[in-house]
Structure 1
Amino acid sequence: MNYVTKEGLEKLRKELEQLEQVERPKVTQQIAEARDKGDLSENAEYDAAKEAQGLLEMRIGKLKDIIANSKIIDHSQLDTSKVSILCTVKIKNTVNGQEMKYTLVPDTETDLKTGKISVNTPIAKGLLGKEVGEKAEIALPNGNVINFEILEITLNP
């Protein structure tokens, strides 16, 4: 089961439509043009187009699977007293005092530029279930351990 927001599911559907309606015909046309150039055994354009087609079909299949197994997260069921998916968490590094703000989102909606991190990242996993004022000790993949204090938990609409 893939948990997604309504907006995230719509984004996935739009991407699937783009791939099926626009990209697939482009690749099919490239294959046809390459095939018309003669001997396929030594035709690099044909090989490249077939490879692109394979990658495209893999992505389409993956998107269809994600969409078919998606469940939209109900905001009204979320508890803002503890860190959970779709919460925005303001944390402070207890060593250097640096404050950060992250929104915990499903894997398919991760966007570091806007502070959206996957609930499956080490930081998010270390924060899940914690309350304001609690400290979280987070082990990073490189072996370092960072301590954070949870300053604020808000729910994204």
Structure 2
Amino acid sequence: MTDQNFLTKEGLEKLKKELDELRTVKRKEIAERVQQAKEFGDLSENAEYSEAKNEQSFIEGRILEIENILKNVTIFKEGTKSDTVRVGSTVTVSGNGGTKSYTIVGSNEANPAEGRISNQSPLGLGFLNKRVGDAVEVMTPKGKIHYSIENIS
């Protein structure tokens, strides 16, 4: 079974742009660096060569990662009205001494500092499919936290 990758339209475009940059610019740059490093001589003791090969491996790995994400992508619209919390919903919750809003996004676009949490995170999983008024108990590294769903938009 393959995992679905949820992205906004903007997130999809950002990944496509990154993939294009990696394929057309970064691959060429790193291939040139590898070639230059080879010219320094003995590859077994050539730090420049080792560093360039490591960077090349990283770039190729990132290309494969993005290609795999794009193979299983599901586009969603943020802020689409729903009675239940789902990917794309902004949910306002009370609990833990205050009220906070989170937008549920795919893991590739999560940024907790901006209130964008992954649908695969403990909070995201706890909020998914809940309705206004539902009580939610989420296990976090700090222990169980209780929330109440106040609003879904």
TM-score by length of 1: 0.87
CA distance in 2, matches of 1:133, 1:56: 46
Gaps of 5+ in 2: none
Q: Note the C-alpha offset of 1:70.
A: 1.4
Q: Secondary structure at the match of 1:82?
A: coil
Identify the match of residue 18 of structure 2 among 15, 20, 36: 15
* Amino acid in the other structure paired with 1:87: S
Q: Note the C-alpha offset of 1:43.
A: 0.7
Q: Match of 2:56?
A: 53
Matching of residues 41-80 of structure 1 within 5 Å: 41-73=44-76, 80=82
CA distance in 1, matches of 2:74, 2:152: 24
* Amino acid in the other structure paired with 1:16: L
Aligned length: 150
Q: Note the C-alpha offset of 1:51.
A: 1.1
Q: Secondary structure at the match of 2:17?
A: helix
Q: Secondary structure at the match of 2:150?
A: strand
Q: Note the C-alpha offset of 1:149.
A: 1.0
TM-score by length of 2: 0.90
Q: Match of 1:2?
A: 5
Q: Which range moved further: 78-87 or 52-61?
A: 78-87
Q: Match of 2:103?
A: 103
Q: Match of 1:124?
A: 124
Q: Match of 1:153?
A: 152
CA distance in 2, matches of 1:41, 1:84: 53
* Amino acid in the other structure paired with 1:114: E
Q: Match of 1:90?
A: 92
Task: Give structure 1 regions of 4+ aligned residues with deviation exceeding 4 angstroms.
Answer: none
Q: What do the CA deviations read for 1:59-104 (whole angstroms, capped 9, x no partner)?
A: 101111111221223679x6611111100011111x52x1111000
Root-mean-square deviation over aligned CA pairs = 1.8
Q: Match of 1:37?
A: 40
CA distance in 1, matches of 2:90, 2:139: 21
CA distance in 2, matches of 1:58, 1:146: 37
* Amino acid in the other structure paired with 1:88: T
* Amino acid in the other structure paired with 1:26: E
